[in-house]
Structure 1
Amino acid sequence: MNSFAQTQRSITIGFGPGYASSEIWKDLQSKLVIPTEIVSITAAQRYNPALILLDHHLLREMDFPQWVEEFPEAIFLGTDSLNIDADLILSSTLPYKQTIKLLEMACYQWALKSEKTERAKMRETSFRYLNKLADISISLSAEDDLMTLLRKILTEGQNIACCDAASLFLINEINDHERELVFKLTQNDSMDFPFEEMRFPLDESSVAGYVALTDGELNIPDAYQLSGTVPYRFNQSFDRRTGYRTKSIFAIPLANKQEEVIGVLQFINRKKARSLKITDEKSALAYTLAFDSDINVLLQALASQAGIAIENTILQNDIKALFEGFVNASVAAIEQRDPTTSGHSFRVADLCVGLAESVSLSNLTRLRNSRFSDTEVRELRYAALLHDFGKVGVRESVLVKEKKLPAGSLESIQYRILLAKERLKTQSLSKQIAMLRNGGLDESRFAELDKQLAVGTDMLDEFYRIIVEANEPSMLEEDNREMLDRINAYRMESQDGDLSIITPEELYLLSIAKGSLSPTERKEIESHVVHTQNFLNHIPWTKEFSSVPTIAAAHHEKLDGTGYPYGMTESEIPLPSKIMTICDIYDALTTSDRPYKPAMTAERAIDILVDESKQGLIDTDLVQVFIDAKVFTIIDTKEYSTSPEFSCFSHHPCDVDLHDDSHGRHD
């Protein structure tokens, strides 16, 4: 038995009842060899012997090929009288000791075969787990949503360990001297229950806290049988509340690249099979296993990958939050300069996101291949939020120009009219004095002079009324246009030369057909798009957001080439810019925060969008999706910052093209 004893493996030899009386079993029986009589297939299945010595009785139970099929790993023995193709044939003519040696050799052969099979299985299992860990690593590194990542970590850990439950804790830095443990997520195969994130002090009183502070693992066979000498205790409140029974626990720290502990992974109740349910103490004691070293090595590898993946994801989220904060701060800065249009950029961004997502779901033929990824939607959102940043480059005097005349001009005209009135009075009095000096007191002539003075002053009053009316940013009436020509032609002689009521520049401004901006000023407002593009080009965008400047710069372009600043045509305008154009126009038409025009109803604004699409100015299919998907309703249920009172006037750049004569219907 020496050669076999070296294997240190216990072997059961099953023999049929025909060999039960043999003395050989007494000599073979030891701690490593267990001879056992089997009288049926059921008994054989119960003992699962390594060696099976068949006899006529067992062969009547089942044919030899069926025995081989039922016990593929066993070594079969038989006598020459059975006439079967057994692995080893025993002969009744062999001496007793030779028979024992043959049986020992058969045991040794099975042990070698078994070890070889197990090594092959171990290699296969190791290879499978290495591939699995590689796949897990790729999957974890690709995930940028923290909660999705944490769920993946717990799920993969449960798969590896074949355990019923898993929990994840993260360390939160409250300040430089204080930290807390955040119970971030838990999963349980056997029961569903509501989970809320919890926070508690980071100390050694809990299993997770101890692991986090000591940076060491804990492998606990039974959470209810902890030694009184350990500082930590298992919290049984969940078990008491739900009837669950926590037994085996393996807790392992999560570390970042700097080998600093950032959290704890806790695996609970390793099971004999993943499908088994643990609902009470009885099932827990029957189905659970302790976590062994082979499994724990794999969980350590998972924890190593998970710690770095969590750190990377948190860092990415922090960078995103930082950039979102920068964008929001930039928009807030824009709106502080122009409080009358507060909320416009955020509304346009929400509309753009809604329309892009609706386009991705559209079945319209031309849009069927237009599908926006999450990254492309974010890129469009950033472009929409920052599309008006360039108005910081527009002169304040133009941006806040409320009337056609610049500030102070109307007061100067009023002064000239008062001066003209005084000169009319002076001229009339001079004529009356001259008549008195000449000795002629003609009352009718005096009355005529008074009447002429009254007519002259009334005319000047009417001039001023017309100027004030023409100065408003409304449509210039034809009668007022003619009156402005009369006012411009008005002259009064004086010692300093002829006196005019308005200057050529003032006439030019008062003659603006609609709105308060001159063509030059309108061009300056329109230049905000170029300023926006120049500003956005200075931001070191990552590759996935590199088109933000281009998208934002084209939101005032029209499909027929009549837009600005570059006069791009349909094929040149990016699809995201076409989306932004529609959303920008809709918000400009329907918003109630413009002091210079009333808000339109959604129905009226949609009619205008349809009309513009029919004229070939904006994309017909995008307008159709905007309407069919009711994208415009997205902003109805959200609150946006607004200016409570119109304390000052300000032109919104996106409204400039709504003031043209060709778009007069917009107002």
Structure 2
Amino acid sequence: MHMPSIPMETAGFEPEIEKLIERIVTEIRRFAADSHRKTLRLVEIGTALTAERHTGRLLEKIVEEACAWTNADGGTLYLVDCAKTHLSFAIVINRSLNIRMGGSTGTIPWSPVALYNADGSPNRRNVSAYAALQQQVVNIADVYEAEGFDFAGTRTYDLQAGYRSKSMLVLPLLDHEGELIGVLQLVNAMDPETGEVVAFSGENQKICESLASLAGTALIQTRLINDLDRLLQAFIRSIGMAIDEKSSVTAGHVKRVTEWTMRIAKAIHDEPRGPFGDVRFSADEMKELQLAAWLHDLGKITTPNHIMDKSTRLEGVYDRIDLIRTRFEVLKRDVEIACWKQMAQSADEPLRSEAARSCDSRLNELSEELEFLSECNRKDRLSDADIERVREISQRTFLVNGVRKPILEPSEVENLSIRYGTLNPAERNIMNHHSEMTYKMLSELPFPKKLKQIPIFAAYHHERIDGHGYPRGVKGEEIPLQARIIALADIFEALTARDRPYKRSMTTEEALEILIQLGKNGHLDPELVAFFIEHRLYAAEGATVDDAPIERLDNQTAKDRLL
């Protein structure tokens, strides 16, 4: 039932009582407003703590907010070790002594606090160890007069620093399962009006308990996020290492491409001038690029080993040059048999001698042709004359069980006619498919927002500036800069690698000449190639290539030749 309000002056109260009621109402309003303000502040602190991803800064915020809330002169945050036997100093702050240690300022060289004595018994004499072991809050008005705890270390520190530790509030930090994370220790609550050291009030203790709960939750959240991030990075690196191990031919390739990629990216980030002067990579973008480089050949796990490891033109599951050698031996046998038959059927010595000479000439010709085919099987490049001679030799036949067969099968002629490299068109298509598979596989992974471009960066490293690359045939600026960087790193590593059995290792100068040609013909980004050469990134510290001066390139700069 609604009761109408009665004016104060008609309520029949004495003036003194009316004033008392007004004061009570005012105090209630002030208390309500103060409680509301503190509640909002706790919410703000909780939001700020949970938003912080850097562990060191998070720990600093926890101590700073606790000191600000209680007007404490100093605070220390300990973290328990994995074995839960020691508390390590993580943050130390003291305003009057102007001390800030730990967190973003570096490590603290002080010895950790043992939770257990040498005999294995709980260390209940140390107040921080006690709060950790008992998971209890300890509120002490004056540590010099406290009983049950050993503050000899505190007294010694005070004597050396010219300080007087007095009031202390120690709170355990627990995770969502009640497991110990660390301990928050505040010292010397200051009266905001007089500046005198006072005991930590019961209200401030309760608030700090709430703050400790928020801090524990935020710390565990940050740890979990950072642990998951480290797990993801380690897992991706392990995939890259597995890809390297899949093929003995390209072992270490992924790792080296990643190293070259990050050298180039860092140089671009640090250069304020030139075509990439406006490019700056954030820490997250650097991490995204690094992980993409580790995964750039992920699709090769679907590529057959005999194609990945194909070191000669005739190599498949085995090298078919051995079959060709066998056929030539059969052909030589036929020549020798024919010769011996001819000699046996003639008593004329000149005819016999001529038959022998013809046989030797024919055998030498076959040996030379076999050596030529063996050389074609191994050579980096074949000329038009080489290919034409392969086709001429392929016209030869040999006899098996009365059946004439070609000395070279059509597939062998095709492979021995590969102008550059060891892969025929069908094998090249299978090899190239790894980029499409890289994109498909990575697109299935739910990468966080800051890593969403990994599938594109990794899969597009075989795209060309002129649009004739794969898997999508995109061109120019449609190819992200990060993918263009990986492309350059991938090719330069392949050119200078010393562990490829199917080709000789190039000198740095030879590799750079090829990069220039690839930049001029629309394969690579010409500005990126020029940047790579002009900044001598090929001679970066720790590089596995020779870093002698490239005099010919210095005389005529790469930029002049490319752009």
Instruction: Choose the corresponding residue for 1:162, options 32, 46, 71.
Output: 71
Alpha-carbon offset, residue 271 of structure 1 = 3.6
Give matches, 1:597-612, under 5 Å.
Answer: 597-600=503-506, 605-606=511-512, 608-612=514-518
Instruction: List runs of 5+ in structure 2 lacking aligned partners.
Output: 1-14, 102-106, 116-121, 546-563
Instruction: Choose the corresponding residue for 1:434, options 337, 345, 349.
Output: 345
Shift of the 463–350 alpha-carbon distance from structure 1 to 2, 3 Å rule, reads closer
Match status 1:564 vs 2:475:
no
Output one character per residue of 1:36-79: Cα deviation in whole Å (capped at 9) or x when no partner.
Answer: xxxxxxxxxxxxxxxxxxxxxxxxxxxxxxxxxxxxxxxxxxxx
C-alpha contact 1:362 1:625 (8 A) present in aligned 2: no
Give the match's secondary structure for 1:489.
coil
Alpha-carbon offset, residue 619 of structure 1 = 3.2
Match status 1:195 vs 2:108:
yes
Shift of the 610–314 alpha-carbon distance from structure 1 to 2, 3 Å rule, reads same
Distance 1:118 1:609 in 2: 79
Corresponding letter in the other structure for 2:153: N
Q: After the TM superposition, which of the residue ranges 370-379 and 202-211 deviates more from structure 2?
A: 370-379
Match status 1:409 vs 2:320:
yes
Alpha-carbon offset, residue 539 of structure 1 = 2.5
Shift of the 295–539 alpha-carbon distance from structure 1 to 2, 3 Å rule, reads same
Instruction: Choose the corresponding residue for 2:129, options 209, 225, 229.
Output: 209
Distance 1:361 1:294 in 2: 52
Corresponding letter in the other structure for 1:265: L
Match status 1:460 vs 2:378:
no
Instruction: Choose the corresponding residue for 1:330, options 228, 239, 257.
Output: 239
Between structure 1 and structure 2, the one with the greater Rg is 1
Shift of the 369–137 alpha-carbon distance from structure 1 to 2, 3 Å rule, reads farther
Alpha-carbon offset, residue 442 of structure 1 = 1.2
Instruction: Choose the corresponding residue for 2:484, options 560, 565, 578.
Output: 578
Output one character per residue of 1:152-202: Cα deviation in whole Å (capped at 9) or x when no partner.
Answer: 21122222233232111223342xxx6443332322331447723644432
Q: After the TM superposition, which of the residue ranges 418-427 and 154-163 deviates more from structure 2?
A: 154-163
Distance 2:397 2:22 in 1: 122
Alpha-carbon offset, residue 205 of structure 1 = 2.9
Shift of the 160–598 alpha-carbon distance from structure 1 to 2, 3 Å rule, reads farther
Output one character per residue of 1:278-336: Cα deviation in whole Å (capped at 9) or x when no partner.
Answer: xxxxxxxx953332234333322321211100010111122122222321221221111
Alpha-carbon offset, residue 504 of structure 1 = 2.3
Instruction: Choose the corresponding residue for 1:135, options 44, 58, 72.
Output: 44
Output one character per residue of 1:369-399: Cα deviation in whole Å (capped at 9) or x when no partner.
Answer: 6554433332222221111111111111111
Q: After the TM superposition, which of the residue ranges 112-121 and 189-198 deviates more from structure 2?
A: 112-121
C-alpha contact 1:364 1:621 (8 A) present in aligned 2: no
Q: Name 1:484's counterpart in structure 2.
A: 390
Give the match's secondary structure for 1:170.
strand
Q: Percent identity?
A: 29
Alpha-carbon offset, residue 468 of structure 1 = 1.2
Shift of the 430–403 alpha-carbon distance from structure 1 to 2, 3 Å rule, reads same
TM-score by length of 1: 0.69
Give the match's secondary structure for 1:421.
helix
Shift of the 604–446 alpha-carbon distance from structure 1 to 2, 3 Å rule, reads closer
Corresponding letter in the other structure for 1:212: A
Q: Name 2:561's counterpart in structure 1.
A: none
Alpha-carbon RMSD:
3.5
Give the match's secondary structure for 1:417.
helix
Give the match's secondary structure for 2:408.
coil
Distance 2:538 2:140 in 1: 58
Shift of the 366–298 alpha-carbon distance from structure 1 to 2, 3 Å rule, reads farther
Shift of the 506–380 alpha-carbon distance from structure 1 to 2, 3 Å rule, reads same
Match status 1:222 vs 2:222:
no
Distance 1:586 1:544 in 2: 28
Shift of the 303–621 alpha-carbon distance from structure 1 to 2, 3 Å rule, reads farther
Q: Name 2:189's counterpart in structure 1.
A: 270
Alpha-carbon offset, residue 586 of structure 1 = 2.9
Give matches, 1:474-623, under 5 Å.
Answer: 474-492=380-398, 496-600=402-506, 605-606=511-512, 608-623=514-529
Instruction: List runs of 5+ in structure 1 lacking aligned partners.
Output: 1-104, 277-285, 436-440, 641-667
Q: Name 2:286's counterpart in structure 1.
A: 377
Distance 2:524 2:362 in 1: 53
Corresponding letter in the other structure for 2:114: P
Alpha-carbon offset, residue 240 of structure 1 = 5.4
Shift of the 569–505 alpha-carbon distance from structure 1 to 2, 3 Å rule, reads same
C-alpha contact 2:72 2:188 (8 A) present in aligned 1: yes
Q: Name 1:657's counterpart in structure 2.
A: none
Give matches, 1:275-424, under 5 Å.
Answer: 288-356=197-265, 359=268, 363=272, 371-406=280-315, 407-424=318-335
Alpha-carbon offset, residue 250 of structure 1 = 1.0
Alpha-carbon offset, residue 509 of structure 1 = 1.3
Distance 1:122 1:623 in 2: 69
C-alpha contact 2:173 2:184 (8 A) present in aligned 1: yes
Distance 1:299 1:638 in 2: 53
Shift of the 514–137 alpha-carbon distance from structure 1 to 2, 3 Å rule, reads same
C-alpha contact 1:223 1:234 (8 A) present in aligned 2: no
Q: Name 1:58's counterpart in structure 2.
A: none
Q: Name 2:55's counterpart in structure 1.
A: 146
Give the match's secondary structure for 1:474.
coil
C-alpha contact 1:206 1:234 (8 A) present in aligned 2: no
Shift of the 637–379 alpha-carbon distance from structure 1 to 2, 3 Å rule, reads same
Distance 2:516 2:160 in 1: 61
Alpha-carbon offset, residue 233 of structure 1 = 4.7
C-alpha contact 1:251 1:265 (8 A) present in aligned 2: yes
Corresponding letter in the other structure for 2:402: D
Q: Name 2:5's counterpart in structure 1.
A: none
Q: After the TM superposition, which of the residue ranges 566-575 and 348-357 deviates more from structure 2?
A: 348-357
Distance 2:57 2:543 in 1: 27
Q: Name 2:356's counterpart in structure 1.
A: 450
Distance 1:122 1:412 in 2: 97
Distance 1:147 1:399 in 2: 45
Q: Name 1:235's counterpart in structure 2.
A: 153
Q: After the TM superposition, which of the residue ranges 291-300 and 214-223 deviates more from structure 2?
A: 291-300
TM-score by length of 2: 0.80
Give the match's secondary structure for 1:562.
coil
Distance 1:391 1:475 in 2: 25
Shift of the 327–480 alpha-carbon distance from structure 1 to 2, 3 Å rule, reads same
Alpha-carbon offset, residue 637 of structure 1 = 3.4
C-alpha contact 2:127 2:149 (8 A) present in aligned 1: no
Distance 1:424 1:610 in 2: 52
C-alpha contact 1:170 1:262 (8 A) present in aligned 2: yes
Corresponding letter in the other structure for 2:439: Q
Q: Name 1:183's counterpart in structure 2.
A: 89
Q: After the TM superposition, which of the residue ranges 361-370 and 460-469 deviates more from structure 2?
A: 361-370
C-alpha contact 1:133 1:302 (8 A) present in aligned 2: yes
Output one character per residue of 1:74-123: Cα deviation in whole Å (capped at 9) or x when no partner.
Answer: xxxxxxxxxxxxxxxxxxxxxxxxxxxxxxx99x99x9999999888766
Give the match's secondary structure for 1:341.
coil
C-alpha contact 2:132 2:182 (8 A) present in aligned 1: yes
Output one character per residue of 1:539-585: Cα deviation in whole Å (capped at 9) or x when no partner.
Answer: 23233323322221111101211111221122432333223222322
Q: Name 1:71's counterpart in structure 2.
A: none
Give the match's secondary structure for 1:183.
strand
Distance 2:75 2:544 in 1: 40
Shift of the 339–162 alpha-carbon distance from structure 1 to 2, 3 Å rule, reads farther
Match status 1:253 vs 2:172:
yes
Alpha-carbon offset, residue 136 of structure 1 = 2.1
Output one character per residue of 1:337-378: Cα deviation in whole Å (capped at 9) or x when no partner.
Answer: 124433332333344445445555655687576554433332
Q: Name 2:548's counterpart in structure 1.
A: none
Alpha-carbon offset, residue 454 of structure 1 = 0.9
